[in-house]
Homo-oligomer: A and B are copies of this chain.
């Protein structure tokens, strides 16, 4: 991972941070929060929002602002300097290809999906000459979805991956996308799409799988057990309440890395189980200490 962008010290270009016109395609939690955060910080002059559910788009657009709820994705992006595709990971490529003919020269397109390798290649290839795709992934999901859960502070202090293709993605476009996220309050982290997919398999997709498997196991036990759970059970399974459709797409899209991560997790569990089974107190103590030390460094 490379150095982070400093929001207080953007490059000298006056247009570097502020985009005259932003288009949001897909006004779910992340898309709608990007709009709110950007407006709250004065980073844009006007916005166009499109969502397959037109009520969602309309709900994002303040009646007194110079913003529009667009009827089509192509209409939304026509004047945009920056396009944020807030769609699930399995449709970002299609959306990028669909809007490509309508993008204006110099436009930058990003997305917010949780898997980047495939998207980066497909979307890069779909862009016309002089238009740039730079993938993003803000680590700011929630088990709550939709524009109703959106808020301007969603990205505060969160990491946001920005994932250029080495030697192919325009470097100025990458820097502007990183600076945009930094200006929204996030900490931009520049990595390759493939490195991103390996990292999030470990820090996001595997935790989701671990929570789902725990919830799935307990779904087979009496309901009264669940009612006796404490804060540990609640926290450990929280993300299992996430949208199944969204997570189906994410896990399948990042299948290769997710399978590797689950295998590594199964290995950890086996070692822990064997330490318990064989009454290996020293071995179990080492495992518990190591986990506690790692966790204590998580801010």
**Per-residue CB proximity of A214-244 to B under 8 Å, as 1/0?**
1111110101111111111111111111111
Structural contact, B276 and A212, CB atoms closer than 8 A: no
- Which one of B199, B213, B241 lies within 8 Å of A265 (CB-CB)? B213
**Closest Cβ–Cβ distance, residue A283 to chain B (whole Å):** 10
**Closest Cβ–Cβ distance, residue A112 to chain B (whole Å):** 13
Structural contact, A265 and B214, CB atoms closer than 8 A: yes
A268 proximity list for chain B (CB < 8 A): 213-214, 216-217
**Per-residue CB proximity of A52-77 to B under 8 Å, as 1/0?**
00000000000000000000000000
A285 within 8 A of B: yes
A248 proximity list for chain B (CB < 8 A): 281, 284-285, 288
Q: Which of A198-220 contact B (CB under 8 A)?
A: 199, 202-204, 206-219
Structural contact, A203 and B231, CB atoms closer than 8 A: no
Task: Give Cα A221–Cα B260 distance, bound, in whole angstroms.
Answer: 13
A277 within 8 A of B: yes
Structural contact, A288 and B232, CB atoms closer than 8 A: no
Structural contact, A240 and B295, CB atoms closer than 8 A: yes
A213 proximity list for chain B (CB < 8 A): 210, 265, 268-269, 272, 291
**Closest Cβ–Cβ distance, residue A259 to chain B (whole Å):** 5
A230 proximity list for chain B (CB < 8 A): 139-141, 158-159, 203-204
Listed stretches A122-130, A172-180, A250-258; interface member: A250-258
Structural contact, A229 and B217, CB atoms closer than 8 A: no
Task: Give Cα A212–Cα B262 distance, bound, in whole angstroms.
Answer: 15
A287 within 8 A of B: yes
**Closest Cβ–Cβ distance, residue A144 to chain B (whole Å):** 11
Structural contact, B284 and A252, CB atoms closer than 8 A: yes
Quick one: closest B residue to A298, CB to CB? B226
Q: A230-B140, A231-B142 are in contact. Are A292 and B210 (CB under 8 A)?
A: no
Q: A202-B218, A204-B230, A295-B241 are in contact. Are A262 and B255 (CB under 8 A)?
A: no
Which 10 residue pairs are nearest across A and B when measured between Cβ atoms? A244-B288, A215-B291, A139-B230, A219-B294, A159-B228, A213-B268, A241-B295, A207-B236, A212-B291, A262-B273
* A residues lining the B interface (CB < 8 Å): 1, 139-142, 158-159, 161, 189, 199, 202-204, 206-219, 221, 223-245, 247-248, 251-252, 255, 258-259, 261-266, 268-270, 272-273, 276-277, 279, 281, 284-285, 287-299
29 residue pairs from A and B, CB less than 8 Å apart = A139-B228, A140-B231, A141-B231, A142-B231, A159-B227, A203-B230, A204-B229, A204-B230, A204-B232, A210-B210, A210-B213, A210-B214, A211-B232, A211-B236, A211-B291, A212-B288, A213-B265, A216-B287, A216-B290, A219-B290, A219-B294, A235-B239, A236-B236, A245-B285, A252-B279, A259-B273, A262-B269, A262-B272, A266-B270
